[in-house]
Amino acid sequence: MYNLATNLERNATFRPNNIALIFHDLKITYAELNKKVNAIADHLTQLNIQPNEKIALSCPNTPEFVIAYYAIQKIGAVVVPLNVMLKSDEVAYHLKDSDAVALISYQGSDAMPIGKFGYEGYEKADFCEHFILIETIESQKPVAAHSFNQWLKTGRETFDAIYRTAQDSCVILYTSGTTGAAKGAELSQSNMLCNAQACQSLTNQKGTDVSIAILPLFHTFGQSLIMNTSILAGSALVLISRFVPKTVLQQVHEHKVTHLAGVPTMFIGLLAYAEKHKGDYLKEIAQTLKVAISGGASMPVEVLKQFEEKLQVPVIEGYGLSESSPVAAFNHLEFERKPGSIGQPLPGVTMKVVDKNGHELPIGQEGELVIRGHNVMKGYYKKPQETAKTIIDGWLHTGDIVRFDDEGYIYVVDRLKELIISGGYNVYPREVEEVYMKHPSVHLVAVIGIEHPRFGEEVKAFVILKEGHLVSEKDLIKWSKQHLADYKCPKHLDIVEALPMTATGKILKRMLKV
């Protein structure tokens, strides 16, 4: 049986009293979590929702996300996680595109009215029949909505997961839509189970461990590497609904967290806080934290080294896409970790570097990374033409420029679409960003190409300075000329207070080009 929810059922049987979820002062055991999941699954079946039908889920990192996610799995339906930042028209698009028959939405607050936008989107999507509200303000529930909270109180406590085959769909994860409308990567039960097993193996996660979810669980990284891996291992999961470095480090300390995963901007934020507040608990964190995992974007080497030194914890960097379930390659704890490398392919995954014609390139040469293996998606939901452009002869084309070294370690050079061609020279934004991260006053940097009438493109940098540091834009450009070839040096540089980011902490470079 391939139903992802059987991992939860297994731990509810063998580890019923082990803590599954920690949220503020609330602790939920595996037995309690399974009963809550069963209650929601029971009510979903009463709505006559059938296996393979789609149910959208819009919820921040709270216990309700985990409960709803696994309830949808239990009934054999397909989860469509939605970014909680979506507005009503965007919600409607995702519901229509995924053929969702129901939406489970967190209510939120006046400041972040997730439920309001969710309900407005639901009303615009004719095919979507049911709206289930996770109430935070009881009096504001729409009349047409089902009550998630009431379901928890009235549903059956027993419910056996419905049988699924390896190729049955498990989730549809929507990509960020950097080129046009967002596309739904359709992932199978096998995709998700194999990825959770691989993540558990590479992080050596056990039932006695404690992980922390600082990444949104609606995102592929948080979902597979954090939530599904924890439920598979039978370990405890600390839920963080909003990333605040102080809160995260306090929770890591209080709950003796062993596994922490995030994107580079989160590590930069944690590092900045740790440097500013050199409390004794940092030493205590170092004694319990076993591994830190970075993914989602390339980690600046300087940040990786400083984080390892400050918290005395190995940082393993990996690589993946929504289309690859997501993890495809990782540095391994038992082997040499090479800073700047995304490590080696997972077992059962093959990678190669190809030129623009699809021909494999020799070791050391830069080209597009393509992937084949158990982690490759079924395809983009209802988009056969887009799928055919991305999966060619079984190989997933990533759009990332990489190179292999002679030991099989992979180095991401940059995104194919972000390559800057200036006067015929190739400039990789990541290389420029890596250099700037070594400047003592630079907190964060993003590099893009802007149009130039003569050279085609030229380099522009956006820099956030460290708190209390003063340096001019002119001086930063001048400094780069000591470390980079002239054609790589920014011709324009803006010092900014913030950079546009996704909910998962990725810098939205397309917004910088507006």
CA distance 448 to 509: 7
Range 275-290 burial, b when 16+ CB lie within 10 A, else e: eeeeeeebeebeeebb
Task: Give residue 418's pLDDT band: very low, low, confident or very high (50, 70, 90).
Answer: confident
Q: What is the pLDDT of residues 201-214, one digit of tens each?
A: 999 999 999 999 99
Q: Report helix angle 30-46 to 63-74, nearest 10.
A: 60
Are the beta carbons of 403 and 351 closer than 8 angstroms?
no
CA–CA gap between residue 284 and residue 313 (Å, rounded): 12
* Separation CA 459–CA 493 (nearest Å): 9
Dump pLDDT digits (tens) for 356-389. Answer: 899 999 999 999 999 999 999 999 999 999 999 9
Q: Is 462 helix (H, G, I), strand (E, B) or coil?
A: strand
What distances in angstroms separate CA 288 from CA 67, 69, 71, 129, 266, one per listed residue?
A: 28, 30, 33, 47, 20
Flag whether 103 is in a domain: yes
Q: What is the pLDDT of residues 21-55, one digit of tens each?
A: 999 999 999 999 999 999 999 999 999 999 999 99
pLDDT-derived band at 422, boundaries 50, 70, 90: confident
- Please list the residues that pair with 497 across neighbouring strands: none
Element (H, E) at 373: strand 367-373
pLDDT tens-digit map of 285-295: 999 999 999 98
What CATH number is attached to the domain comprising 145? 3.40.50.980
Would you say residue 182 has pLDDT above 90?
A: no
Which has the closest alpha carbon to 123: 108, 142, 149? 142
The pLDDT score that the predictor gives to residue 177 is 46
Query: What does the pLDDT read at residue 140?
Result: 66
Residue showing tokens 């030229």: 458
Is residue 268 over pLDDT 80? Answer: yes
Cα separation, 59 vs 65, whole angstroms: 6
Residue that the structure tokens 């290389």 belong to: 431
What count of other Cβ atoms lies within 10 Å of the Cβ of residue 272?
16
Task: Output the pLDDT for position 283.
Answer: 87
State the pLDDT at residue 334. Answer: 86
pLDDT at residue 138, rounded to an integer: 66
- Residue 178 corresponds to which tokens in the numbers above? 């950097």
Backbone φ and ψ for 347, nearest 5 degrees, come out as -55, 135
Residue 490, domain CATH: 3.30.300.30
Tokens of 315: 């940082």
What's the rounded Cα separation, in Å, for the pair 114 and 107? 6
Q: Mean pLDDT over residues 61-74, rounded? A: 98
189-244 pLDDT, tens digit each = 999 999 999 999 999 999 999 999 999 999 899 999 999 999 999 999 999 999 99
Q: Using the structure block, give the residue that is written with the tokens 């990284």.
A: 221
pLDDT value for 179: 43
Confidence (pLDDT) at 457: 87
Q: Give dist(CA 213, CA 65) in Å, integer.
A: 12
Contact criterion met (CB below 8 Å) for 145 and 132: yes
pLDDT of 275 above 60: yes
Contact (Cβ atoms closer than 8 angstroms) between residue 4 and residue 192: yes
Q: Tell me, yes or no, whether 354 lies in a domain.
A: no
Tokens 């990825």 appear where?
195
C-beta atoms surrounding 405 within 10 Å: 12
Structure tokens at 120: 């407005």
Query: What is the predicted pLDDT for the residue at 297?
Result: 78
Q: Is residue 400 part of a domain?
A: no
SS percent in the chain: helix, strand, coil, step 5: 35, 25, 40
Pick the range with the lowest mean pLDDT from 246-250, 405-409, 416-420, 493-497: 416-420
Q: 358: phi > 0 → left, psi -120 to 50 → alpha, else beta; which?
A: left
Q: Is residue 138 part of a domain?
A: yes
Asked whether residue 307 is domain-assigned, the answer is no
Q: Give the mean pLDDT of the chain.
A: 92
- What is the number of residues in the chain? 514
Q: pLDDT exceeding 70 applies to what percent of the chain?
A: 98
Percent of the chain with pLDDT over 90: 76
Q: How far apart are CA 196 and CA 338, in angstroms?
A: 24
- Does residue 328 lie in a domain region? no
pLDDT per residue over 143-177, tens digit each? 778 999 999 999 999 999 999 999 999 999 998 54
Query: Alpha-carbon distance 266 to 215, whole Å?
Result: 9
pTM for this model (two decimals): 0.88
Domain endpoint, select from 164, 191, 218:
164
- Last residue within a domain, chosen from 140, 164, 188: 164
| pLDDT reported for residue 508 | 87
- State the distance between the two ends of the chain, measured CA to CA, in whole angstroms: 49
User: pLDDT digit string (tens) for 327-361?
Assistant: 999 998 888 888 889 999 999 999 999 998 999 99
- pLDDT exceeds cutoff 60 at 277: yes
Residues in Cβ contact with 471 at an 8 Å cutoff, skipping those fewer than 6 apart: 439, 441, 465
User: Domain end: 114, 141, 164, which one?
Assistant: 164
Tell me, yes or no, whether 147 lies in a domain.
yes
Q: What residues make up the domain containing 448?
A: 419-512
Closest CA to 437 of 260, 306, 315: 306
Q: How many domains does the chain have?
A: 2
pLDDT tier at 139 (50, 70, 90 boundaries)? low
Neighbours of 157 (CB within 10 A): 13
For 116, phi and psi rounded to 5 degrees?
Answer: -60, -50
Range list of H helices, 204-327 = 220-221, 229-233, 245-254, 264-276, 281-288, 301-311
Is the pLDDT assigned to residue 178 strictly greater than 80? no
What is the per-residue pLDDT across 427-468, written as a single tens digit (0 to 9) for each?
888 889 989 999 999 999 999 999 888 778 899 999 999 999
229 in a structural domain: no
Over 90: is that where the pLDDT of 415 sits? Answer: no
